Amino acid sequence: MSINHVRPWRNIYRRDSRQISVGSVKVGGGAPISVQTMTNTITTDVKATIAQVQAAADAGADIVRVSAPDRDSALALKEIVAVSPVPIVADIHFHYKRAIEAAESGAACLRINPGNIGDETRVKEVINAARDHGCSIRIGVNAGSLEKHLLEKYGEPCPDAMVESGMDHIRILQDHDFHEFKISVKASDVFMAAAAYQQLAEQTDAPIHLGITEAGGLMSGTVKSAIGLGNLLWMGIGDTLRVSLSADPVEEVKMGFEILKSLGLRHRGVNIISCPSCARQGFDVIKTVEMLEKRLEHIKTPMSLSIIGCVVNGPGEALMTDVGFTGGGAGSGMVYLAGKQSHKMSNDQMVDHIVEQVERKAAEIDAAAAAEAAE
């Protein structure tokens, strides 16, 4: 068993929500918080889109969203869905018929924007298509595309307007006896989004999809998302999430897992604890961590690794990790296994040796899990 377990003082209370299915993935009702991303290829370029879906899935994505802006794109989903390793959500804007076509093409979920999809009659047709083809629906409210009457009522996008839009569409779905839905209330403003999500969580038991929309580039967008989503998750709000970045979708998946790992809500791959380095370091910490991050990307097993430059905090951090290395002197450092001092290793051989130790530990953890499951 990994030493990287969840301790009682780290537990986060999670809001009670109904559970729905997005294809094979359960969302809400205590299911693991799923990580999503969205392709940015031209959907009709089926080969490129499938390649991007596969890359996202390899990075750990539980669900992938694909845009269906026109009829050809909606019909192309049939080929994409047929080979996708994860459920596909069809992203629908403006034309309700695209949602119907996407449902017929096998999409697991239909994302509709209340401000763009049209009146209740059109929404009803989407509901019927979703029901007929076993799709769930995501009500995707966005501060940038609220209904005209709400903008006139409130004067500008705000949390109250966003939640009212979402609740209005929840009522439409419920009035038509459709309950396989989740909802999001996204904004690019962290404060607006967080306030809207908090209000929403108090008014519905529907699963909530978290996101800070149009957050920005890799660094700035990750920071905004970590602040906004992190605080909401800390409060127990959120059943699935997407970190929206102007970057490769794979980076969105990685950042999503990093946010969840930092809160102890999901554990996937190696969690590296490392120091920022200083004059006390016994080896080049920054370069070492960069190499290890790349060399250990293939590890999916949840486990922890500490890489600390000196003995000030190194031994203490190593006590709480599966594998650890602490810098010493004279060109070598100490290797820790399962929180205990094990043996010395030269700095020159340290990276290869740590990779070997992590792979060995991951194999042990996987074997133990398999044996437990077989009992």
Residues 6+ apart with CB under 8 A from 8: none
Q: Is 104 annotated as a binding residue?
A: no
**Model pLDDT, residue 113:** 81
Cβ burial 155-181 (10 Å sphere, 16+ → b, else e): eebbbebbbbbbbbbbebbeeeebebb
**Model pLDDT, residue 2:** 52
**Model pLDDT, residue 1:** 46
Residue 256 contacts residue 241 (beta carbons within 8 Å): yes
363 and 240 share one domain: no
224 and 281 share one domain: no
215 and 294 share one domain: no
Residue 61 lies in a domain: yes
Residue 2 lies in a domain: no
**Model pLDDT, residue 76:** 98
**Model pLDDT, residue 188:** 93
Q: Is 158 annotated as a binding residue?
A: no
Residue with tokens 């008014």, as numbered in its chain: 203
Residues 6+ apart with CB under 8 A from 372: none
Residue 273: alpha-carbon gap to chain centroid: 21
pTM: predicted TM-score of the whole model, two decimal places: 0.90
Residue 7 lies in a domain: no
Q: Is 158 helix (H, G, I), strand (E, B) or coil?
A: coil
Domain containing residue 130: 14-262
Q: Is 147 annotated as a binding residue?
A: no
Q: Is 109 annotated as a binding residue?
A: no
Q: How far apart are CA 345 and CA 354, in angstroms?
A: 10
CATH no. for residue 148? 3.20.20.20
Per-residue pLDDT of the chain in tens (375 residues, 90 and over written 9) = 455 444 555 667 899 999 999 999 999 999 999 999 999 999 999 999 999 999 999 999 999 999 999 999 999 999 999 999 999 999 998 789 999 999 999 999 999 986 677 778 888 999 999 999 999 999 999 999 899 999 999 999 999 999 999 999 999 999 999 999 999 999 999 999 999 999 999 999 999 999 999 888 999 999 999 999 999 999 999 999 999 999 999 999 999 999 999 998 998 899 999 999 999 999 999 999 999 999 999 999 999 999 999 999 989 999 999 999 999 888 999 999 999 999 999 999 999 999 999 999 999 999 998 898 888
Question: What are the backbone angles phi and psi of residue 222, rounded to the nearest 5°?
Answer: -65, -40
Q: For the chain, percent helix, then strand, then coil, each to nearest 5?
A: 45, 20, 35
